[in-house]
Amino acid sequence: MGLSWGFERPFAAALLVLPLVLLLLSFQRTKPRSIWLSTARFFPDQGQKAGSLRRRSVPWSRVFAVAAMVAATLALMGPTPSPGDPGPERFVCVVDRSPSMYLRAGPEDDAVTRMAVALGALDDALKHRCQVTGRDVELIWVDGCRPGAPAGPPVALGAGCPGDWSRAPRVAQPEPAWAAFDRLGTIWVTDRVPEDPGQWAGHVASGGAAVPGVIGTTRASGGAPAALHWSGEPAEAPTAVEGGPSARVSIDPSLPAPLADFVALWAADRGVTVIDGAGGDAPVELTITQGPVGDSHSSDRVGRDGWSALVKTSTAEPTVPAEVEGVESDERGGAYRLVPWLFTEGGAAALSSGPGAIECGIVEFLTPPNDRAAFAVSIAALLDGAILPHPAVVSLSERRDAGGGGAALPEESLPLEDLDPRTLERLARLAAARAAAGLLLAAALAGALALWLRISRG
């Protein structure tokens, strides 16, 4: 990125009047003074030197003095690097995709989400900036909940954020660690103004009232599943309500029997609705799939948490532990890694799990688990950890009042994309210091030379 020079104190340019006046006076003195001398004819070669008079009319000392004054003035102005090509301003928009952003912004049931309000406020603020600066704006979208590469190349203002960001990710995300995004040209898009607004980054917050609703599941006094409901009043404690949203689990019919039977028991105990794997495309909170079976199988012993069993696994290439990359339309909200949970003696993954998904590589249990109790506790822990909460269940902290919101854009757009703010600031200071030192040195040399010439001329 090319750099051009700007000035920290451009008003100091007024001092350029001094050398300008001196220069004008010098030019004024180039008009030769006439000395009447009737014996001028006795000067030798009078005509040959007349042409050189104008060239030497401004003394060198005056030229050096003017140069010294100009250099000193430039040094006082504080030259500093600034973006050379104005072009469009670029901002990095770090979007908070935590569950609170997908709650309604107002008390009405049909109110838009806080995310929509925040994006609208961002759009309005940047359009206003365009009008003020006269420069276009480009945005780089970053999912603040999962920092990494931007969501795509810079897009023009008004193009909107990536499409699926208007819906909550299937896996609840924590609020971004804003301090990690405190950079020049960065805008935080969230619902609640961060307590530490940052030094370089700006923010756009939608605000929003508290949203009442289910904040968790529990069991009623009779042991039946119940929902914890919060009224939206900060002082009121949540209350248990029978019924409420029920999570769903989709079980592949080809799961080996002991595992399928236990999942059914677990679902009944947890109040989770079991859906046939081929039942439909509706999103569920847990999907248990059977890995590729293939034509040949091998016998392996697997075991964990105090139980073991002899199982038959497929020799086909397992999908685990390969990464399962989510696509843009993935209801789970992006890429998740299925982590091997149970290994064979040969080191292959027999069971892998991730948020809302379990993949089973066991084709058949050749022997039942040697310790059924340990097996139940172990598998129950696996299922409890993998199942996602029902979309209607949002934690109390997310449902709380987000305040009035607000917008504070950063003063500067993205200066150098590849440098962090501290490095950029050091670079600017270093360049300014070098330029100032160079100009002051030039001024000192020029002044000394002018003084020397004046002294030498007596």
Nearer to other proteins, 57 or 289 (CB): 57
- Complex with other proteins: residue 11 or 42, whichever CB lies closer: 42
Q: Least separation, in Å, of the C-beta of 24 and other proteins?
A: 14
Residue partners of 220: CB distance under 8 A and separation at least 6: 226, 240, 242
Please identify, using beta-carbon distances, which residue of 27 and 239 lies nearer to other proteins. Answer: 27
Instruction: Give the nearest distance from C-beta 457 to other proteins in angstroms.
Output: 8
Stretches 54-62, 170-178, 187-195, 390-398: which one binds other proteins (CB under 8 A)? 54-62
How far is 38 from 48, CA to CA, in rounded Å?
19
Alpha-carbon gap, residue 449 to 65, rounded angstroms: 9
State the minimum distance, in angstroms, from the CB of residue 50 to other proteins. Answer: 6
Q: Exactly one of 15, 18, 57, 380 binds other proteins (CB under 8 A); which one? A: 57
CB 275 within 8 A of CB 288: no
- Judged by DSSP in three states, 425 sits in helix
83 prior amide bond cis, ω within 30 = no
Quick one: 37 or 278, whose CB is closer to other proteins?
A: 37
Per-residue interface string for the shown chain with other proteins, residues 19-48, x marking contact by CB under 8 A: ----------xxxxxxxxxxxxxxxxxxx-
Task: Closer to other proteins by CB, 52 or 296: give it.
Answer: 52
Measured in whole angstroms, the distance separating CA 13 from the mean position of its chain's CA atoms is 40
Rule CB under 8 A: choose which of 24, 50, 220, 430 binds other proteins.
50
Q: At a CB cut-off of 8 Å and minimum separation 6, what does 62 contact?
A: 22, 26, 450
Pairwise CA distance, residues 192 & 387, whole Å: 29
Beta bridge partners of 181: none
Contact assessment for residue 231 and residue 212, using Cβ atoms and an 8 Å cutoff: yes
Span from 51-59, 188-196, 317-325, 433-441 in contact with other proteins (CB under 8 A): 51-59
Query: CA-to-CA distance for 139 and 145, rounded, in angstroms?
Result: 18
30 vs 298, beta carbon nearer other proteins:
30
- Pick from 90, 206, 204: nearest CA to 141: 90
CB 202 within 8 A of CB 112: no
Residues 115-174, interacting with other proteins (CB under 8 A): none
In angstroms, what is the minimal distance from the CB of 31 to other proteins?
Answer: 7
Minimum Å gap between C-beta 88 and other proteins is 55
Nearest distance from C-beta of residue 420 to other proteins, angstroms: 57
Distance of CA 378 to the CA centre of its chain: 38
Nearer to other proteins, 53 or 392 (CB): 53
Indicate the residue among 249 and 450 with the shorter CB distance to other proteins: 450
Q: Where are the alpha helices (DSSP H) in 309-371?
A: none
Distance of alpha carbon 453 from alpha carbon 458, whole angstroms: 9
Burial code (b: 16+ CB inside 10 Å, e: under 16) for 340-370 equals bbbbbeeebbbbbbbbbbbbbbbbebeeebe
**Min. distance of Cβ 40 from other proteins in angstroms?**
4
Specify the DSSP class assigned to residue 403: B
Q: Which of 9, 49, 135, 426 binds other proteins (CB under 8 A)?
A: 49
Tell me which stretch binds other proteins (CB under 8 A): 52-60, 111-119, 182-190, 364-372: 52-60
From the CB of 22, what's the least distance to other proteins, in Å? 15
Torsion of Cα atoms, 248 then 252 then 257 then 263, to 10° = -20
Q: Please say which residue, 49 or 434, places its beta carbon nearer to other proteins.
A: 49
Say whether residue 455 binds other proteins (CB under 8 A).
Answer: no
* Contacts (Cβ under 8 Å, ≥6 apart) of 456: none
- Cβ closest to other proteins, residue 11 vs residue 36: 36
Work out how close the CB of 65 gets to other proteins at its nearest, in angstroms, rounded to a whole number: 14
Shortest Å, Cβ 454 to other proteins: 13
Contacts with other proteins by CB under 8 A: the residue count is: 28
Site residues (vs other proteins, CB under 8 A): 29-47, 49-50, 52-53, 56-59, 457
